[in-house]
Amino acid sequence: EINLRNHSSLHKLFYSLVFLLSWMGIGYPLASLSTTSNSISAAANLNFALKHGSAWNVPYKYLGSSLFYPYAEMGGASIVLAMIVIILIYSKNKDSENIAKVNLLPAAFGSTGGMMVGMPIILNPLLLPAIVIIPIINILLAAGAIFCHLIQPCAYPVLSGTPGILVSFFGSNGDWSNLVFSILLFILDIIMFIPTMKLGLRLERGLKDYEEKND
């Protein structure tokens, strides 16, 4: 039991470091975690699922390909896509809205480069807690749901560029419970991210008003 706790703590620390690097603009660790479907353990899961017709009882339920890519990252754009939705709902800044609109479709398919460049995301201290904490919460909730047999582990390979909310659906060979869980999880991400984004938008408006007064 102690070993399991230590193992879980190491995983949390590792994922925190990965998301910290992502916040710093170093995305390779995220990319490497999203390609763990090529590992021996993932291959064993896939073979089991193909043999038994489902992934409910695969031997390795808590791989990065089962937790990180489908739920923490949601195809690579979980936090960024949530940010876009919040900007479109709450922001009154036309520039921010235009950037969000342009990047909505690419982000939905996992391409976040435009948003990362167009908005002050990298090295933004205001966003750091949310970028690190929210994906870890996603992982813990997904692991709990898998443990309680509410959703299947994602054992099947998913094409790169698959919309994030659909990754777990296709990764479980079309299990609707996975799709519903992903949708609810994304809604939760938006709700958790709203306070941070509202604060950021207020600061943005305050700076704009300050600049206008001094001009």
Per residue of the chain (215 residues), what is the pLDDT tens digit? 334 344 455 555 655 666 566 555 555 445 555 444 557 888 888 898 988 888 888 988 887 777 878 888 775 567 888 889 998 988 888 888 898 898 888 888 877 778 877 887 777 888 888 888 888 899 899 999 999 999 999 888 888 778 888 888 998 888 999 999 999 999 999 999 999 888 887 877 777 776 667 76
**In a 3-state reduction of DSSP, which class is residue 92?**
coil
For 152: left if phi > 0, alpha if psi spans -120 to 50, otherwise beta; the answer is beta
DSSP per residue, 155-203: -S---TT--HHHHHHHHTTS-HHHHHHHHHHHHHHHHHHHHHHHHHHHH
C-alpha–C-alpha distance, residues 60 and 194, integer Å: 34
Q: Count of alpha carbons within 13 Å of 16, Cβ hemisphere only? A: 8
Domain boundaries, the chain: 2-214
pTM over 0.85: no
User: Which pair of structure tokens corresponds to residue 208?
Assistant: 């704009």
